[in-house]
Amino acid sequence: MSAILAPAPEVLAAEARAAYATLQKAGLKLDMTRGKPSAEQLDLAEGMLALPGNRDHFAEDGQDVRNYGGLQGLPEARRLFGAMLGVPADQVVVAENSSLAIMHDCIVLALLKGVAGGAAPWSQGDAAFICPVPGYDRHFALCEGFGIRMIPVPMRDDGPDMDAVEAAAADPAVKGMWCVPTYSNPTGATYSEAVARRLASMRTGAADFRLFWDNAYAVHHLTDSQPAPLDILSMCAAAGHAERAFIFASTSKITLAGAGLAFFGGSPANVRWYLEQAGRRTVGPDKLNQLRHTRFLRDLDGLKRHMAGHRRLLAPKFDATIAALEQRLGGLGVARWLRPEGGYFITVEMLEGSARRVVELARGLGIALTPAGATWPQGRDPNDNILRLAPSFPTLADVRAAAEGIALCMLLAALEARGAA
């Protein structure tokens, strides 16, 4: 990034320092760390809690959802959320409340027993994952927790840098890759079809390589441009790698965070592989919650209407954050961000060596930010230049105040880095 500091850096610095001193006196106490839905968003699903009601506890196939069984999930739930993800209903498993837990189980199972058609458990040798960065810290924590080596590759505006991905995937130790294909956490970028096709068809050194396709934000649109989910299963099958993709998602940010439904999708062989172990792990999922969800959302149109409610609450917070960044930093050449068309985060790329300083300056104003480095494996950003902003949880007024404060801190840190403040 070239710095085109205008007006003169000293003038800007004096103004910024004065603005910082004034804000310090305001005694702010704001938090932009958490990618959680706000209480108003959770209220959108309040009506669901009264369902099914009236002793109406039978699924469409007649099963009593209060009892054990139904390992793969109710047919109506698999149909609805399969449609949401672009996966055939019989290739969807509706599990419990957390997609992260399903990812965890898949990793454990792959390490201990191997994947469907795999020659050996992954734990029998060195195992590594490709990690687009910036990425989701909990993905990285799973790898870290199980001793899986992480190979960072740069994230672009249309998905990961595919030349770097293909080079890394040639190594037989590389068993998997984290992908958040729609409105990625944290940059908001959506993978292009060309990127998805390259992922589906690339040569991998490991025959049992898997894409961990975490479509956590598939329907979390913030604009009218609402891309359909990429059909990664068909792309993989067409390229002769039918088992390559594991699909994950949940309703944590559709209905209730931590009290929703989580999904696994894949080829028929992958679904059998998953269910074989799931059937040992549990006597059956919470089908009452599945019925509650399908009665409440009804169909894909109902789901879209519900998501439009989230958009109404979230879009102004994203707009306020972007407006603050543009107003303070626009045209200065010291920071870059993508205006997300969905998802939960805005990521700002700044001058090298300034992210930690921004967090420190923001703390001085009473504004909590996600720690610098959180979007990199092991929490270590070698360039110290990425910050993730999470505008969903605070009120709009607080988001506005926090974003203005953060943008100011970014300007100050940039001026310091240039030796102007």
Name the site residues for ligand PMP (rule: CB under 6 A): 35, 98-100, 136, 180, 185, 214, 216, 250, 252, 262
Is 33 in contact with 368 (CB distance < 8 Å)? yes
Least separation, in Å, of the C-beta of 102 and ligand PMP? Answer: 8
Shortest spacing between CB 342 and ligand PMP, in angstroms: 12
Q: Which two tokens stand for residue 86?
A: 């672009």
Task: Give the CA count within 13 Å in the CB-facing half-sphere of 226.
Answer: 12
- Provide the 10 A C-beta neighbour count for residue 187: 27
Six-digit token pair at 347? Answer: 């990521």
233's enclosing H/E stretch is: helix 232-238
Tokens representing 233 are: 């299963």
Shortest distance in whole angstroms from residue 186 CB to ligand PMP: 8
- How near is the Cβ of 261 to ligand PMP at its closest, in Å? 9
Return the number of the residue (99 or 267) whose C-beta is nearest ligand PMP. Answer: 99
Q: How far is the CB of 249 from ligand PMP (least distance, A)?
A: 7
Q: Which is nearer to ligand PMP, 136 or 246 (by Cβ)?
A: 136
In the complex, the smallest distance separating the C-beta of residue 180 from ligand PMP, rounded to whole angstroms, is: 5
If the CB atoms of residues 294 and 354 are measured against ligand PMP, the closer one turns out to be 294
Distance CA 187, CA 199 (A): 19
Nearer to ligand PMP, 270 or 392 (CB): 392
Q: Is-cis flag, bond preceding 382, omega within 30?
A: no
Helices of type H across 98-173: 99-113, 137-145, 162-169
The overall longest dimension of the chain from CA atoms, in Å, is 74
Query: Based on CB atoms, which residue is closest to ligand PMP, 180 or 421?
Result: 180
The rounded distance, in Å, linking the Cα atoms of 388 and 405 is 15
Which residue's CB atom is positioned nearest to ligand PMP? 250
Of 130 and 206, the one with the shorter C-beta distance to ligand PMP is: 130
